Structures are given as C-alpha cells and as structure tokens.
C-alpha cells in the first residue's frame, strides 16, 4: 500500500511546456471535423470520464448541438488505427447531456447520459450500440460510470418527492450487448432537502468509492462513501476536503466543486477537485490519495506548482492504472490563453512539475481535458479546442508514450 504523504505546500512546479519525465506526446488526432459555425462540443461532465480503454480499443464520448439540439455522440479507434470512426449518435429524445463512459471486456464500452430528465445507458462496440435502457425512476441527472473488469457501476443524483438521493446501480452486460441492471441502491436511505450533485465513482478489488458535492452543511463540501459488497450497501458519508471555517461569523468554509475519482494500483483511489482555499486567487487543483478503495484518505495536497499559484485552474480530470500510475489534468490561463496541464507523482512521492503537452497547448483555447492510463503507462488525452472563447469547437486526441 502506497504511503500517503502530505504534499500541501510542496508544489515546486514550473512551466514546462516542452518536456515531461513521464510521457512523450508527438502528434494529435482529430476526433471531430473542422469547426462548424454555431456547433459547440461539451466535455464538461464534472468528474465523469469522456475517454475509456478496452483491450486495444479507445472510445471518446461527448455532447454537441450539430442537430440543433444537444445530443450525445461516440467515436472509436483501435491502437493500430490512425483515426477515429465517424461520430455515432447514441442518445435520442429531445435533448441529451453530460455523458460518461467506461471500458468493459472484449473491446466494448458502457455509456450513460442524461436525456429529458432521466438517466439512460447502453453498450457500444465496433459493431454498433446495443439497446438503450433507463436507469432512473424519477427526475435524475449527473451520471458517472466506473468499472473493474466485468463489474460495471453507475452513480447519479435523483429527486423523489422533493428529496435528493445519490443512487448507485450495479450493471452487467448480457448476450447481444444488452445491459442489465442487477441492483440500484441509494447511498443514504433517507433523502435530503439540500442539494447533492456531481457524483464520481471509482472501483477496484477492495470496493467501490463514490464522492459528490453536498450542501447539507449550508455550503458545498465534498462527501464520500464506501461499499464493499458490490454497491448493495454503503458506509455513512465522510468528508473528503479539509474545509476552513469559523474565520468570522459569516464564514462556513472554502468553496469546492467538481470532484473526480480514479482507481490505481490494486486498491487505491485518487480524488481531485477545484478548491478556493487560496483566497482571492480563484480555484486551485487539490487532491487526496486513498487506500482500501477509499476507506482511508490521506491529507489534501495542492497539485499545481508555484507558477500556477497566480491564477485560477479549471476542469480537473484524473486517471490511474493497475500498475500504480496516476495523473491529474486541468486547464489554466498562465500563458495568456487556456492550455492543458498535467501532474503526477515523481520518484520522491511529490507532485511533479506542471507539464503542458505540446499538442494540447499553444494558440487558441485548449480546455476540458479527459484522460485514461493504459497498463503500459501510456496516457490517452482528449480535449476541446477553439480559436477563442466564443468560437465553435472541435475535439482532439493525443497519446503520450511512456518514457
């Protein structure tokens, strides 16, 4: 089990756009076509994965408005192909938002999304999508997915009779790429009047961890819960972020948002989020490392380095693999426009220098990263790009080869 070290205050990162001690990014591949007027792509499903791996296949999922209404699309490639397939629409209905994806065995993937106030999911493979099924029973949104082999889980928020719940479903692929729901369990049996949102999931051999934004304290805190029985029951929620309070009569704590989880090694969890504890500097990217599937979390750690301390940071994404590698990605404006930045633990078990991959930086706005780590340590990076803040967008992919 990795020793959990306090890295808060150890951020020694400097701007390092040309070199990384971990990956070499040489080229980028278009996931979508040239920007089209008034068409916008979204990769902003807080804490949810937009890129996933299965055997030798890679899948990217997003939402865009090419049909004049928001719908969800997926594109696939293999590690032997240069390009992605044409986009396949997987949603129906009037409007669809905020997709999530996870890998499944045999070059298959499970997708989930919000559609007309409900949560839907389906299997996708190179042969095409399986049938869509509805996971929710009431008004629902903010779905997240995670998997470990054939074990697949979805988490979402649902409102019933004015009460909010975080629910987790255990899913299984049956013959014909049909998705079956084995169980749906609320993390807490009694719902809350206060809002809960943006759940994120990670699962490994020790159990399943779910974290979310929670307003029961009167301001937003990050809570988490652990299940060790395949999501049939959950432990009482615990705090993830260290919140500063009682500084004056009006203060209830520093703002936090957009928690993202990933599993790494055999039983460990990486959590990262946006955190305003730095005062008037906007959001920083903070993280915590957990063992035993999140039964124990170490202290909160500032991920970005000193040169990143002068401006806000956005859209954290996380990835991990069974070999024990993990990474945090985000975007910020330290070089005048938005670029993608990465950090990982170095050999001293401290966060590495911030690194901006050349394919995901430079002229224009590169933002909203999504990441996946393969078992060889390769980093698969997806992001959104546009010429300026108001321009139409497109999606790009790059593979960081391990050094």
CA distances to 52, 133, 198, 335 from 77, rounded to whole Å, are: 11, 25, 29, 32
Instruction: Quote the distance between the C-alpha of residue 64 and its chain's center.
Output: 18
pLDDT digits (tens, 9 = 90+) for 71-126: 999 999 998 999 999 999 999 999 999 999 999 999 999 999 999 999 999 999 99
Residues 6+ apart with CB under 8 A from 347: none
Rounded distance, CA 72 to CA 87, Å?
A: 10
Rounded distance, CA 292 to CA 1, Å?
A: 9
Percentage of the chain beyond pLDDT 70 is 93
Map tokens 């994404």 to a residue: 317
pLDDT digits (tens, 9 = 90+) for 258-304: 999 999 999 999 999 999 988 778 999 999 999 999 999 999 999 99
Rounded distance, CA 304 to CA 286, Å?
A: 8
Rounded distance, CA 50 to CA 382, Å?
A: 8
pLDDT digits (tens, 9 = 90+) for 328-351: 999 999 999 999 999 999 999 999
**What domains can you pick out in the chain, each with its CATH number?**
23-402 (2.120.10.10)
Rounded distance, CA 246 to CA 233, Å?
A: 34
- The DSSP element (H or E) to which 59 belongs, if any, is strand 57-64
- Return the pLDDT at 251: 57
């Amino acid at each position: 089990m990795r020793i959990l070290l306090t890295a808060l205050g150890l951020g020694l990162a400097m701007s390092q756009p040309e070199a990384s001690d971990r990956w070499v990014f040489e080229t980028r591949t278009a996931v979508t076509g040239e920007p089209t007027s008034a068409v916008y792509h979204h990769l902003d499903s807080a804490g949810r994965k937009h890129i996933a791996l299965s055997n030798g296949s890679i899948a990217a999922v997003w939402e865009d408005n090419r049909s004049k209404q928001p719908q969800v699309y997926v594109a696939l490639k293999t590690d032997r192909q240069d390009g992605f397939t044409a986009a396949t629409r997987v949603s129906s209905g009037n409007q669809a938002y905020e997709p999530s994806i996870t890998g499944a065995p045999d070059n298959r993937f499970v997708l989930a999304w919000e559609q007309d106030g409900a949560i839907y999911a389906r299997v996708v493979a190179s042969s095409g999508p399986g049938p869509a099924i509805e996971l929710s029973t009431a008004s629902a949104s903010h779905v997240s997915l995670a998997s470990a082999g054939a074990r697949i889980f979805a988490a979402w928020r649902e409102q019933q009779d004015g009460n909010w719940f975080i629910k987790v479903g255990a899913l299984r692929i049956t013959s014909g790429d049909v998705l079956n729901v084995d169980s749906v369990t609320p993390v807490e049996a009694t719902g809350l009047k206060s809002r809960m949102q943006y759940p994120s999931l990670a699962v490994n051999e020790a159990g399943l961890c779910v974290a979310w934004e929670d307003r029961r304290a009167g301001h937003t805190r990050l809570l988490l819960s652990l299940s060790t029985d395949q999501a049939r029951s959950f432990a009482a929620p615990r705090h993830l972020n260290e919140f500063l309070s009682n500084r004056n009569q009006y203060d209830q704590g520093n703002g936090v948002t957009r928690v993202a989880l990933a599993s790494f090694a055999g039983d460990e969890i990486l959590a990262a989020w946006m955190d305003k504890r730095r005062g008037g500097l906007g959001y920083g990217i903070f993280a915590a490392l957990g063992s035993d599937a999140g039964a124990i979390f170490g202290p909160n750690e500032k991920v970005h380095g000193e040169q990143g301390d002068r401006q806000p940071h956005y859209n954290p994404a996380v990835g991990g693999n069974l070999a024990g590698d993990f990474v945090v990605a985000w975007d910020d404006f330290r070089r005048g426009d938005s670029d993608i930045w990465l950090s990982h633990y170095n050999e001293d078990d401290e966060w590495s220098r911030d690194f901006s991959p050349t394919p995901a930086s430079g002229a224009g706005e590169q933002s909203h990263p999504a990441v996946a780590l393969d078992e060889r340590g390769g980093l698969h990076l997806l992001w959104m790009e546009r010429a300026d803040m108001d321009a139409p967008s497109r999606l790009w992919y790059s593979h960081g080869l391990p050094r």
